[in-house]
A and B are shown apart, each in its own frame.
Chain A
Amino acid sequence: MEAVKSFFETPAPSRFTGIWAWLLTTDHKRIGLMYLFAIVFWFCLAILLGGLIRLELMFPGETVLTAELYNSAFTLHGVIMIFLFIIPALPAIFGNFFLPMQIGTDDVFFPKLNLLSWYLYMLGGVVAIASLFAEGFPDTGWTFYVPFSVSTQTNVSTAVFAAFILGFASMLTGLNFITTIHRMRSPKMGWLQIPLFTWSLYATSWVQLLATPVVSITLVLVMVERFLNIGLFDPSKGGDPILYQHLFWMYSHPAVYIMILPGMGVISEIIPVFSRKSIFGYKAIVFSSMMIAVAGSLVWAHHMYTSGMSDTAVFVFSLLTFVVAIPSAIKVFSWVSTLYKGAIQMTPPLFLSLCFIYLFSVGGLTGLVLGAAGPDVHVHDTHFVVAHFHFTMFGGTGFAFFAALHYWWPKMFGRMYDFKKAYIASALITGGFIFHYVPMFILGLQGMPRRYYDYLPQYATGNFLAGFGALFMIIGIALMFYNLAVTLRRERNAPADPWGGVTLEWKTASPPPLHNFDRDPEVLDYPYDFTGVKESQDNQANQDKQSKPNA
Chain B
Amino acid sequence: MSLHQTSPHDDETGKKLGMWLFLYTEIILFGGLFVLYAVYLTVHTEDFVEGGKQLDRLFGLANTVILLISSFAVAASITAVQKSQKGVALGSLAASLLCGLIFLINKYFEWGHKFEIGLYPNSERLLDGPTGQNIFFGLYYVITGLHGIHIVIGMTVLAVAMAYVQAGKITPTRFALLENAGLYWHLVDLIWIFIFPLFYLII
Contacts and interface: CB of A to CB of B under 8 A. Distances in A.
Query: So, do A and B actually touch in the complex, CB under 8 Å?
Result: yes
Interface in A187-245: 187, 209-214, 216-218, 220-221, 224, 228-232, 236-240, 243
B128 to A, nearest CB: 11
Contacts of B36: 232, 243, 247
Contact of B32 (A213, A236, A240): A213
Which of A213, A220, A516: most chain B Cβ within 10 A?
A213
Contacts of B29: 213-214, 216-217
Contacts, number: 125
A175 B5 CA distance: 22
B3 A515 contact: yes
A351 interface: no
Interface residues of A, number: 51
A182 interface: yes
A237 B135 contact: yes
Interface in B1-41: 1-5, 8, 11, 13-14, 17-18, 21-22, 24-26, 28-33, 35-36, 39-40
Given A183-B14, A237-B127, A232 B35 contact: no
Interface in B106-151: 121-122, 127, 130-135, 138-139, 141-142, 146
A468 interface: no
Contacts of B44: 238
Interface in A396-433: none
Contacts of B138: 230-232, 237
Dominant secondary structure at the B interface = helix
A178 interface: yes
A243 B138 CA distance: 15
A182 B14 contact: yes
Nearest to A183: B14
Interface residues of B, number: 43
B43 interface: yes
Contacts of A220: 146
Nearest to A518: B1
Contacts of A174: 21
A287 interface: no
Given A184-B8, A213-B32, A228-B122, A109 B2 contact: no
A240 B43 contact: yes
A175 B122 contact: no
A210 B27 CA distance: 9
B174 to A, nearest CB: 16
A238 B3 contact: no
Contacts of A113: 18
Given A109-B18, A209-B25, A230-B141, A214 B32 contact: yes
A232 B132 CA distance: 10
B42 to A, nearest CB: 11
A239 B18 contact: no
Contacts of A230: 121-122, 134, 138, 141-142
A187 B31 contact: no
Contacts of A209: 21, 24-25
Given A179-B21, A240-B39, A217 B139 contact: no
A231 B8 CA distance: 47
A105 B3 contact: yes
Contact of B28 (A107, A210, A228): A210
Contact of A106 (B3, B30, B35): B3
Which of B29, B130, B139: most chain A Cβ within 10 A?
B29
Dominant secondary structure at the A interface = helix
B24 A179 contact: no
A228 B121 CA distance: 6
A496 interface: no
Contacts of A210: 24-25, 28
A243 B39 contact: yes
A105 B4 contact: yes
A171 B25 contact: yes
B32 A217 contact: yes
Contacts of B32: 213-214, 216-218, 247, 250
Contact of A212 (B4, B25, B122): B25
Nearest to B27: A213
B135 A110 contact: no
Interface in A150-202: 171, 174-176, 178-179, 182-184, 186-187
Nearest to B29: A213
A230 B145 CA distance: 14
B135 A232 contact: yes
Nearest to B1: A515
A545 interface: no
Contacts of A311: none
Nearest to B30: A217
A515 B3 CA distance: 9
B14 A109 contact: yes
Which of B32, B40, B122: most chain A Cβ within 10 A?
B32
A147 B150 CA distance: 29
A221 B17 CA distance: 29
Contacts of A106: 3-4
Interface in A243-275: 243, 246-247, 250
Given A175-B21, A519-B1, A246 B8 contact: no
Interface string A40-62: 00000000000000000000000
Nearest to A516: B3
A495 B131 CA distance: 69
A171 B23 CA distance: 12
Given A178-B21, A179-B21, A213-B32, A110 B2 contact: no
Which of B5, B21, B44: most chain A Cβ within 10 A?
B21
A239 B135 contact: yes
Interface of B: 1-5, 8, 11, 13-14, 17-18, 21-22, 24-26, 28-33, 35-36, 39-40, 43-44, 47, 121-122, 127, 130-135, 138-139, 141-142, 146
Interface of A: 104-107, 109-111, 113, 171, 174-176, 178-179, 182-184, 186-187, 209-214, 216-218, 220-221, 224, 228-232, 236-240, 243, 246-247, 250, 515-520
28 contacts: A110-B8, A111-B8, A183-B11, A183-B17, A187-B5, A212-B25, A214-B31, A217-B33, A221-B142, A228-B121, A230-B134, A230-B138, A230-B142, A231-B131, A232-B36, A232-B138, A237-B134, A237-B135, A238-B40, A238-B44, A238-B47, A238-B131, A240-B39, A243-B39, A247-B32, A247-B35, A520-B2, A520-B3
The 5 closest A-B pairs by CB, nearest first: A238-B131, A183-B14, A217-B32, A230-B138, A213-B28
